[in-house]
Structure 1
């Protein structure tokens, strides 16, 4: 059953599944909490992700300093777009990331379905 909010014109995600486990790893003194959340993006969120993908390469720009500057500016623009998109995902999931002790990865699984993996050091 679809919701009106999910089909509306605002950035919305749907949590499909969540799971977690403790990884004692290979180091005796380290333990990590691994949390995985599978999400589905609505058309607005998916479009924001698509528009944050950088498809250009350095070869798209002319040789020399001018081309270097254009390439760096292009990369910076798309890095900012991706950061904005990730921040919207974190906000929707109500995640506050402690960059000193945690890592988060968001990857596309299939079409509009993505996986968010958060790893936190707990010991």
Structure 2
């Protein structure tokens, strides 16, 4: 799942789940939306990415390349070392800024919801 939010200067994509060949059908529409927003900064939050292959990396690279052509920048935050490795193997690390200060919230704690125990009527 990819959620897009905007501010006057930034487009933020929050990605959850796999970013791979199986998800590629949604990439063109999302890329068109992001490019159409014409924000100078694209932030890609990868805290909840569970797996990324070269197809997912190509999608991110296309976003970064489009932004760079407009004079913008693309920031990866919360990227796992394995995800960065895929981008590096693709030869595209220079298209991205890496946010070294971002710390993903503990996903185990974030996924826990407080639900009251249902009561049974006699």
More helix by share: 2
Scaled by the length of structure 2, what TM-score is found?
0.25
Q: Which has the higher contact order (CA 8 A, sep 6+)?
A: 1
TM-score (norm 1): 0.25
Larger radius of gyration: 1
